[in-house]
Amino acid sequence: MKTEERTWRAVTVLIKCLGAVAVIFILAVGGRMAYQFGYHVFAQQPLSDPPGKEAALTVQEGDTIKEIAEILEADGIIPDALVFCVQERLSKYQGELQPGTYVLNSAQTPEEILQILTGVSGETDE
């Protein structure tokens, strides 16, 4: 009986230890992912060095930032559509997109791209 009880106790301790290790691992991985996401949101780094890659973008009335970000990511202007959406949400340009046709470059920072898309800086070809 005592051997069975010790075995059961050892198994219980082992399961608790493995559970604790799993929780610590999940927290570490989650923390790292959150840090990397936050870094990319606030780093304001362009996708590439100058001269970069140019692409034309037409913004129409009613286009959402998510739609625009997905197009910019597909065109190779920004690295991550979700990060760009969060950057727009946290910026002073939130909800200020102006319809028009814009020429954007992968060497521009997200801040510069948002300035252009809101008409604060840059040219539009309407």
- Whole-number pLDDT of residue 48: 87
85-119 per-position pLDDT tens digit? 999 999 999 999 999 999 999 999 999 999 999 98
Is pTM beyond 0.85? Reply is: no
The percent of residues above 90 in pLDDT, for the chain, comes to: 81
- Taking the C-alpha atoms of residue 30 and residue 9, their distance in angstroms, rounded to an integer, is 31
**pLDDT at residue 126 greater than cutoff 60:** no
Cα–Cα distance list, 32 to 6, 47, 98 (Å): 39, 21, 36
CB count in 10 Å sphere of residue 86: 19
CATH number of the 54-117 domain: 3.30.1490.480
**pLDDT (average), residues 16-25:** 97
Flag whether pLDDT at 11 surpasses 90.
Answer: yes
The answer to whether 121 touches 98, Cβ cutoff 8 Å, is: no
